[in-house]
Amino acid sequence: MNPSRLCMGTLTLSPLQKNVPAEEAARLMAYAYGSGINFFDTAELYSNYSFFKELWRLGVPRGDVIVSTKCYAYSKDTAERSLEKALREMDTDYIDIFLLHEQESIHTLRGHAEAIDTFWKYKEQGVIGSLGISTHYIAGVKAACTDERLHVIHPIINVAGIGIVDGTAQEMVLAMEEAKKQGKFLFAMKALGGGHLLKRYREALEFILGLKSIDALAVGMASEEEIDANVHAIIEGALPPGAVEKKRGIFIEPYCVGCGACVERCQQKALTLKDGVAVVDASRCVLCSYCVTACKDFFIKVL
């Protein structure tokens, strides 16, 4: 089965962002499926595997859907725990794509060698379809090319290079082209720069859809209207004339105690401590929600 060019990202609906109930999220996913999307992206971090269980319950056939998830496993035990959790909570016998989340370079990959070996064993048994990585780093894309078992790469890429930690959009494109030559499957994230490029929606989509190295594009969608608009633009190729209005952002509660955990967690250096509380530089934030999981008191929200 071929994945649709448009992959529905489910972070937006998850407890880390809009916190939509599983039944409602699954209804939207079923709507997306009915609209031609058969590819869905999640992560252990997003705490939303129950969406998939509900999706099967709504009658969407498991065999008609490609599920990609990602986790932070680094050892045999953590890899087996992550896989078992995904299978159990999604109520499925297999995961189509399993990614190592947030890989930065050959060094981080080496630190995950035991997890890769373990996942590969399950790939050979048919419990995992394909292995790979997600990354905000050009060095991450290059690192994945050193291991032929890592067939899938989920890189951040957009016309402005927003969120690429170690270089420009052009450098990322070159790394992706090299990966493509090696036969990797690439599905891009953050084509709209976490919302920063909504005002340049058409240009951003023209850029991403023009990249020959990309097989699919993950986009977070939280309403039928958004699904319709993205299907129209990305699957049917009818790009809208101009900007899209959608206000999203990060919100820090006044109760923040300034512990700095979120600041440490943000790869984009969008958070700093000022006068004892966390403050965000919205121009750097890509709405990835990693900081949300770092705040044990839930004082950060992405809305």
Determine if 233 is a binding residue for ligand SF4 (CB under 6 A): no
Q: Are the C-beta atoms of 221 and 8 separated by less than 8 Å? A: yes
With 0-12 / 13-18 / 19 or more C-beta atoms within 10 angstroms meaning exposed / middle / buried, residue 152 is buried
Q: Which of 17, 135, 230, 289 binds ligand SF4 (CB under 6 A)?
A: 289
* d(C-alpha 170, C-alpha 16), whole Å: 31
Residues ≥6 apart with Cβ < 8 Å to 272: 263, 278, 279, 281
- What is the footprint of ligand SF4 within residues 88-117 (CB under 6 A)? none
* d(C-alpha 257, C-alpha 299), whole Å: 9
Determine if 137 is a binding residue for ligand SF4 (CB under 6 A): no
Toward ligand SF4, which CB reaches closer, 87 or 256? 256
* d(C-alpha 183, C-alpha 213), whole Å: 10
Determine if 156 is a binding residue for ligand SF4 (CB under 6 A): no
41 beta partners:
9, 68
Determine if 302 is a binding residue for ligand SF4 (CB under 6 A): yes
Q: Which of 174, 229, 261, 279 binds ligand SF4 (CB under 6 A)?
A: 261
Determine if 11 is a binding residue for ligand SF4 (CB under 6 A): no
Q: Which of 21, 34, 237, 258 binds ligand SF4 (CB under 6 A)?
A: 258
The secondary element (H helix, E strand) that includes residue 301 is strand 300-302
Determine if 144 is a binding residue for ligand SF4 (CB under 6 A): no
Question: Segment contacting ligand SF4 (CB under 6 A): 17-25, 118-126, 171-179, 252-260?
Answer: 252-260
Q: In the complex, which residues of this chain contact ligand SF4 (CB under 6 A)?
A: 250, 252, 256-262, 265-266, 268, 270-271, 278, 280, 285-291, 294-295, 297, 299-300, 302
